[in-house]
Structure 1
Amino acid sequence: MQKKLKRYIKRKIPFIKKPIQEYNNNQRFQIRSKYNRFINKYKVKDNVILYESYHGANFTGNPLAIFQNVLKDEAFSHYKHVIVNNNKELLDETYNEYNNVSIVSVEDDEYLLALATSKYLINNTSFPYYFLKRKEQVYINTWHGTPLKTLGLDINNAGFSDHMNIQRNLLQTDFLLSPNSFTYNKLLSSHDIKEIFPGKVLDIGYPRVDLTLNSNRDGVLRDLALPLDKKIVLYAPTWRGTVGNESDTSQQLLDEVVKLRDQLGNDYIVLLKSHYFAYKFFEDNGLEHMCIPNHYDTNTLLAAVDLLITDYSSIFFEFIPTGRPIVFYGEDIELYKEERGFYLEIDSLPGPLCTDIDEVANCIINEHYNYYQENYQKYNSLFNYNDDGKAGLRFKDIVFHNKESDLIKTTNSGKEIIMMYCGAFYNNGITMSALSLLDNIDYDKYEVIVVESPNGTEEKWNNMRKVNENVHFLFRPGVLGRTIMESYRHQWTLNRGISGSVMKLIVPKKMYKKEMKRITGNLNINFAINFGGYNDFWSLLFAFSGIKKKTIYLHNDMMEEFNKKINGKNKHKQALKVVFSTYKYYEKIISVAESTHHTNFENLKHLVPYAEDKMTYINNSVNYKKVLDLKDQDNIVTYDKKDYMILENKKQNNFVSIKGSLTPNPHYTNFVSIGRLSPEKDHEKLINAFYKALNNDDHMKLYIVGEGPLKGYLEDLISKLNLTDKVILVGQVENPFALIKQCDCFILSSNYEGQGLVLLETMIINKPIIATDVTGVRSVLEGGYGKLIENNVHDLADSLKEFALNKRNGVQVNYKKFDYVQYNKDARDRFNQIVL
């Protein structure tokens, strides 16, 4: 007994130590843990407003303008204000006379507490990954300008998930402040959420432009110790450098400002408003007097500016209401256009575009900007129709006083929302089934969201590019937000699953619900479909998401999957133990074929209360249009005097890469099999059966399409049996259908299947099929759609020999024709009826 206890304690020591060590050694974990502890422990304070701009780098823009407006208003005298600024000392001097104003730095304890408990959260970019807006909080995102440059997914060569934290912040936003309709439409569509955006858009103009229109020119100049009798030229370029390589761009800015001063002469004062990275360079070199201080608000500064020089910065939109001239300077315009991209045509800009600094000086001296008055007026009417100096008043009326306004807009389509997790988009049958299902949803009725991890290989991104264009992707940035105690409870759940009354108390249900809300924000999701069905973490998130209508898919004989071993190790056992234990929290448990349902029902019904009502089946949809199109794309190339069929080609820049296999010889009997190279597909059995059949007929070839963990083992087996010229491992290809068409017969040797989507695709091509009579296959082929055989090497070999003999003798076996149109309709109708 003592030995058992010692072993138990020894086993548990790493479990006990891990969260504590993580907390002590990982600053990011400390921050997340504190923030989540504050959320769990403290209530939201109704009279506190938090303001953050540019991640605390300065306190400027809309948050500053809103703060100043509210601070002066007696109606808000009982409010407390928390300003986020990483240079606390600077603002402490400015606001130390106010007892109701406090300054915090990003991610210090005061910041985390304020972020967790302030009623109003005002930001012009985004809060960190771990941020979660609580139900009692009001999040106002003001953004920071009208976009000339592309955003989010619209940026040239943007990655799938590069925009994910801004997207996530926008989904948690209650009020999105916008200067014009162009801005909010571009911002929301470029972050893939326009039709599902759950917040209200305030098309009221920017309070920060009020600072430009209502500030006194002479007062600003006195603040900056500048003469009142000179023309003020402001050079305000976009940042183009990279972190750690700031000096190159900064040196160029310095040279340009010096040249402008020399050429414009004593009548002008040339000021530089640089990005804070570049500003550091000027500080380090004792040249900060050449720059407007980083903390000084740009919009207030614009009130004193007589002429603006900029490149692609949105600052020029907010200068237009002054009626004063703009000169654009873009020496790298073509490169920037190619790398980033623009929303507006460059020749439509409200001022001349120069490509070197001498040209800029010439434009100013000779007043060339006067030729652009028509463009200027067009921009003013399109983008500045709200700029009357009263945006701040409209903001207070709507946000704080709850006044109705026709300036409150919505972009939401009003459709019901389906959320799906599709299983990480590996090259497998689940992905192919998901793609087909997503092509068969009625997008006139539903908005569809696919949630995913932001990590992955090109295999994943390639499959995601095939998803129906109506689908929205949401990504889960960062890691699970949790306290130390929640870490213990989460790990215990992953180890044990959910079983027994004690375990149900341990499961951190609220944490999982919080995590789902961290990802989906304010979205009102009607249906949650865990289509992947294998991942323990996503199964827990879906199970405790708070969404009422939840479905989980079973793509195989799940007990066989539970026991499956690859190279002597259980592949799914630990994860499926957890997944199985979540079934009770789903409304529907769906197998993908009738025979698969019967097997899963018998094996798993004890885990599902009211299993007779909850467990059923829906046949996978099939994209027959894609199959019919690709089967005829059988391009042939000759290399080294042999013909090869192209089954995949990829173009990138000036290069193309192709992948294919030897073209099937019509004088041979050509068999083809498609499936992941893993134990349940049992290609070893197929290869051995083919080897036996060759003794009867040497004029046969076998093509095996797919990748997987057993590839090396199968290569060794093929070599050992001297079948290198007879058995061809094609690998994973984009278009296997052209190969199916060229071969004589499709062969499936699986020990079990979910449904065998490839069988349906082969039936569309109208090719003969020989398959083992196992779970998932039987319900597809029974009724005469193919030949079902016993699951052993002997029967498989006999079937191969028989088919080859029939071909030699000209005997054709006719199978029942597959009505794929009706099949798809039935599958779609059943999905709509059961899941939706």
Structure 2
Amino acid sequence: MGIRKIIRKTVPYDIRFLLNPLRKHLLHKSFRIRAAYTKAWETTPVIDNMIFYEAYHGRSMTGNPFAIFTYLLEDPSFRDYQHIWAISDLSKIPNQYRNLKNVTFVSYHSQEYARYLATAKYLINDTSFPAYFQKRKDQIYTNTWHGTPLKTLGMDIKNRGVTDHKNIQRNFLFADFIVSPNKYTAEKLLKSHDVNSIYGGKILDTGYPRVDLMYKANKKELKRILAVPENKKIILYAPTWRGKLGKEEDQSKRIQKDVKKIQENIGSDYLVLVKSHYYATKFFKEQGLEHLCVPDRIDTNELLSVVDVLITDYSSIFFEFLPTKKPILFYAYDAEDYQRERGTYMEMDELPGPLCMSVNQVIDCIQDLDRVTNKYNDVYHSFLNTFCYHDNGQSTARLVDTIFHGKVSEDLFSVETNKTKILIYGGGFLNNGITSSLISLLNSIDYEKYDVTLIDHGTNTKKMKWNNMEKVNNNVHHIFRLGTWNASLIDMYRHTLFFYTGMQKLAPIKMYKREYERMVGNTNFDIGIDFGGYSPFWASIFAFGHFKRRSIYLHSDMEKELHKVVNNKYPHRRNLKVIFSLYTLFDKVLSVSKLTHEQNWKNLKTFITDYEKKMDYVINAIDYKKILNLKGDRSEFQYEFGEEIGPESALHRESTSDYPMPKATDYNFITIGRLSPEKDHHKLIESFSLVSANNSNVKLYIVGDGALKDHLIQHVKTKNLHDKVFFTGHLDNPYNLLDQCDCFVLSSNYEGQAIVLLEALVLGKPTISTDIPGPRSVIEDGYGLIVENSVSGLANGMSQCLNGNYVPNNRFDYEAYHNEALNMFYDKVCNIED
């Protein structure tokens, strides 16, 4: 048995819970680095004349940061500035910079690195800083990125992980300036990382500083370093990397074979060199082929100045080679696979050079370069005009004038809209009614007026979560949390004690504010909504985050939720104690129906100062168009109602058809909901047993999954109802089945609103509900039958419907209801003038 298992079995949970911060501090280097960063961030002033540079996660001194560094180093007006370089391998520091007094090198991701990152005024990066990075208000962060994209980025990558882009996205949201070589690149970067319209910084469309290096490189010296004779021409093969981060493909042997064949067939006038992507360099080292590659210490753009022919595939390098007006060959032997796995923004056969599918085609093109040049001349110049209009060797000067001297530039522009910005936590996107009602709301919001962003944890791998998120309106942005708290040991102890006791006075407020800012960057959200309402983490973030107006939703009778027991445990007790203590910090504490609001008012008002103004209700929106569209097929759609309390209450089953479809000769009852105690399916089965004893043609469909599934199946067997009661499991689209049934039944002991009732009413189904506040708010005006909350009450109601003795008095006007729900949302949640 492992040590951790022994500790779990022998040390009480409460002690382990309280000792956890100390354990992390002692055992995890990352915790100590975050603590060092936080201490410097909180206590050390920003140093005005300090510039912090990082290129490719510290792998080299190259690219845009290097171009800016060398320019400033030669500029007399910056003689008093201190330059800090983050380097992952300090043994590879170029000799000419190693002993300069105004240049300091720090080991990437060390405590020293963290302290400089927290205190340098100017931050320059061409990729992204680590997850703990969060820009201070006095710092100026310039993200230069590293190329005009041919291959897809971020969310546009096919077969990508849903949240793979989250740290780059976060860095963009922190950046004061994103440097772009052309407007096309800015558009692709922002859209593919889902920050278009919410990015609050500026786009500096001034060209890439690193391209300047190509204009001013010492060609003779470069050839000497590369050991290339003066009379030799250089062919550079620069393939991009294949695979995903952490799963890079080893192409080194293939490249070696291709380079050897090219060299053997082009004569002695040319020398073939390889510039491998920095993610792929390790494979050349492992294969003993490092000698084939141009050393990482040589900047790629300086290298391009001596290149006579470029061979590449999907790399952005060709865009920066265009100003040389020399030939480009695209060797994409795996084009079909690459398009399927990742994809490109442009068709490969429309690029400014021939598309070669084999090394022999590459050799043929090299042997007939004059023909190739003439054939692609027009396309070549079109690309030059579209993507390289800034490339004149002065991009760095224009950047320095804007960022360091504050000069007004016509190349500076903003993409942020003037819409009201809303940030929402949606409750985990499990299969429940919170998800269903939120999706309905997000499909109905006026996006001409509101810019909406969902925030969530980015680590959940549950298929149901991502399936549900895919149903969200495409206008909605998504931000995913990456990493964890920037906190001291004391912060973590206060946090632990607050979450353990629910005593708000223990809460590390500064830590929660920092965490909010760490996740959203510089984006200023006007409205914050904790729509989930069951997570103490997100309640804390929204309670202390910076908003003009903040709201939290109460989806049920929260006092009863506090005392709910599932499998002999209280799943919500500790969490809700924390959340109750935070209610007073919200502008609106909103129940989802009038009668549920009255219950929560009665039970929770003592937690809330000014509760007369803050406590209110907003009914859930209902996407009636989607329900009506889906009733005729089995498409996926969310339906259940409940909260996120962990895997035990979110058992998932894919849509199934291993149950008999309803027959017209039967009377078919249906219920939809999570199989948990408050839904009381046990009571419903007892009631159905009484009804079926006198009626042979009745059936009951129970749609949903949950903690009590096995218990309920056994209860049905005990009652000998296995041929009349059918458990369908989770159905992504229950409306086909619901539409075929004759009556919807809700047996709950308490509900917030019971959105499933609304869904049944949209389809015109007779409905029966126990007499509890939430459902009563929905059907008390003659839309359904309200019965005593008992076995006999439900049985009598089912018998009335079965025998034709009950007909609803009113037809549910779902359009009017939906409009009312939206108007309440706009008035009570979105009215920042109130």
Q: Where on the TM-score scale, by shorter chain, does this alignment land: which range?
A: over 0.9
Q: Distance in 2 between matches of 1:657 and 1:555?
A: 26
Q: Specify the code of the residue in structure 2 equivalent to 1:795.
A: G
Q: Distance in 1 between matches of 2:268 and 2:94?
A: 37
1:565 aligns with 2:551: no
Q: Specify the code of the residue in structure 1 equivalent to 2:422.
A: I
**CA positional deviation for 1:34:** 2.0
Aligned partner (choices 346, 349, 357) of residue 347 of structure 1: 349
Q: Specify the code of the residue in structure 2 equivalent to 1:829.
A: N
- State the SS of the aligned residue for 1:35: helix
Q: Distance in 1 between matches of 2:471 and 2:244?
A: 33
Aligned partner (choices 251, 263, 267) of residue 265 of structure 1: 267
1:755 aligns with 2:759: no
Please name the residue that 2:644 is paired with: none
**CA positional deviation for 1:812:** 6.1
Please name the residue that 1:640 is paired with: none
Q: Specify the code of the residue in structure 2 equivalent to 1:699.
A: N
Aligned partner (choices 163, 173, 193) of residue 171 of structure 1: 173
Please name the residue that 2:813 is paired with: 819
Q: Specify the code of the residue in structure 2 equivalent to 1:663.
A: M
Sort the Cα spacing of 1:429 and 1:248 in 2 relative to 1 into closer, same or farther, 3 A.
closer
Aligned partner (choices 457, 482, 489) of residue 484 of structure 1: 489
Which digits, 9 at most, give the CA deviation of each residue in 1:743-796, with x for residues without a partner?
111111110110011111111111111111102011111111111111000111
Sort the Cα spacing of 1:41 and 1:814 in 2 relative to 1 into closer, same or farther, 3 A.
closer
Aligned partner (choices 406, 411, 414) of residue 410 of structure 1: 414
Q: Contact conserved, 1:176 with 1:200, CA < 8 A, in 2? A: yes
Please name the residue that 1:334 is paired with: 336
Q: Distance in 1 between matches of 2:15 and 2:697?
A: 63
Aligned partner (choices 806, 822, 825) of residue 828 of structure 1: 822
Which digits, 9 at most, give the CA deviation of each residue in 1:434-456, with x for residues without a partner?
11111221100010000011122
Q: Distance in 2 between matches of 1:14 and 1:771?
A: 44
**CA positional deviation for 1:277:** 4.9
Q: Distance in 1 between matches of 2:304 and 2:250?
A: 27
**CA positional deviation for 1:263:** 1.0
- State the SS of the aligned residue for 1:702: strand
1:148 aligns with 2:150: yes
Q: Distance in 1 between matches of 2:477 and 2:288?
A: 49
Please name the residue that 2:642 is paired with: none
Q: Distance in 2 between matches of 1:736 and 1:336?
A: 38
Q: Contact conserved, 1:327 with 1:369, CA < 8 A, in 2? A: no
After TM superposition, the structure 1 stretch with the greater mean CA deviation from structure 2, 696-705 or 58-67, is 696-705
Sort the Cα spacing of 1:55 and 1:444 in 2 relative to 1 into closer, same or farther, 3 A.
same
1:703 aligns with 2:701: yes
**CA positional deviation for 1:318:** 0.1
Q: Please give the root-mean-square deviation of Cα atoms over the aligned residues, in Å.
A: 2.0
Q: Distance in 2 between matches of 1:331 and 1:495?
A: 58
- State the SS of the aligned residue for 1:107: coil
Which digits, 9 at most, give the CA deviation of each residue in 1:286-309, with x for residues without a partner?
654432111110100111111111
1:252 aligns with 2:254: yes
Q: Note the residue ranges of structure 1 that are not aligned, 5 or more in a row.
A: 1-8, 636-645, 649-655
Q: Specify the code of the residue in structure 1 equivalent to 2:131.
A: Y
- State the SS of the aligned residue for 2:523: coil
Sort the Cα spacing of 1:223 and 1:446 in 2 relative to 1 into closer, same or farther, 3 A.
same
Q: Specify the code of the residue in structure 1 equivalent to 2:743.
A: C
Please name the residue that 2:790 is paired with: 792
Give the 5 Å matches for 1:120-519.
Answer: 120-240=122-242, 248-283=250-285, 287-367=289-369, 368-370=371-373, 371-456=375-460, 457-499=462-504, 504=505, 506-519=506-519
Please name the residue that 1:86 is paired with: 88
Q: Contact conserved, 1:179 with 1:383, CA < 8 A, in 2? A: yes
Give the 5 Å matches for 1:760-775.
Answer: 760-775=758-773
Q: Specify the code of the residue in structure 2 equivalent to 1:618.
A: V
Q: Distance in 2 between matches of 1:465 and 1:246?
A: 28
Matched-pair identity in % = 47
Please name the residue that 1:687 is paired with: 685
Q: Contact conserved, 1:241 with 1:249, CA < 8 A, in 2? A: no
Q: Contact conserved, 1:326 with 1:369, CA < 8 A, in 2? A: no
**CA positional deviation for 1:16:** 5.7
Q: Specify the code of the residue in structure 2 equivalent to 1:224.
A: L
Sort the Cα spacing of 1:659 and 1:102 in 2 relative to 1 into closer, same or farther, 3 A.
farther
- State the SS of the aligned residue for 1:603: helix
Q: Distance in 2 between matches of 1:227 and 1:67?
A: 30
Q: Contact conserved, 1:689 with 1:796, CA < 8 A, in 2? A: yes
1:678 aligns with 2:672: no
Please name the residue that 1:643 is paired with: none
Q: Contact conserved, 1:697 with 1:801, CA < 8 A, in 2? A: no
TM-score (norm 2): 0.93
**CA positional deviation for 1:632:** 2.7
**CA positional deviation for 1:311:** 1.0
Which digits, 9 at most, give the CA deviation of each residue in 1:80-123, with x for residues without a partner?
00011122233262213421101111111221111111111100
Sort the Cα spacing of 1:263 and 1:534 in 2 relative to 1 into closer, same or farther, 3 A.
same
- State the SS of the aligned residue for 1:712: helix
**CA positional deviation for 1:10:** 9.5
Sort the Cα spacing of 1:150 and 1:795 in 2 relative to 1 into closer, same or farther, 3 A.
same
Q: Distance in 2 between matches of 1:341 and 1:763?
A: 45
Q: Contact conserved, 1:498 with 1:582, CA < 8 A, in 2? A: no
- State the SS of the aligned residue for 1:770: strand
After TM superposition, the structure 1 stretch with the greater mean CA deviation from structure 2, 812-821 or 359-368, is 812-821
**CA positional deviation for 1:268:** 0.9
TM-score (norm 1): 0.93
**CA positional deviation for 1:55:** 0.3
Q: Contact conserved, 2:353 with 2:380, CA < 8 A, in 1? A: yes
Which digits, 9 at most, give the CA deviation of each residue in 1:525-559, with x for residues without a partner?
00000000010110011101122310000000000
Q: Distance in 1 between matches of 2:212 and 2:92?
A: 24
1:609 aligns with 2:612: no
- State the SS of the aligned residue for 1:58: coil
Q: Contact conserved, 1:631 with 1:741, CA < 8 A, in 2? A: yes
After TM superposition, the structure 1 stretch with the greater mean CA deviation from structure 2, 268-277 or 618-627, is 268-277
Q: Specify the code of the residue in structure 1 equivalent to 2:520.
A: T
- State the SS of the aligned residue for 1:156: coil
Q: Contact conserved, 2:134 with 2:517, CA < 8 A, in 1? A: yes
- State the SS of the aligned residue for 2:38: helix
Sort the Cα spacing of 1:30 and 1:754 in 2 relative to 1 into closer, same or farther, 3 A.
same
Q: Distance in 1 between matches of 2:43 and 2:601?
A: 43
Q: Distance in 1 between matches of 2:744 and 2:523?
A: 45
Please name the residue that 1:551 is paired with: 551
Which digits, 9 at most, give the CA deviation of each residue in 1:103-158, with x for residues without a partner?
11111122111111111110000111111111111111000000000011111122
Which digits, 9 at most, give the CA deviation of each residue in 1:478-508, with x for residues without a partner?
1222221111011011011134xxxx2x311
Q: Specify the code of the residue in structure 2 equivalent to 1:339.
A: E
Q: Contact conserved, 1:417 with 1:525, CA < 8 A, in 2? A: yes
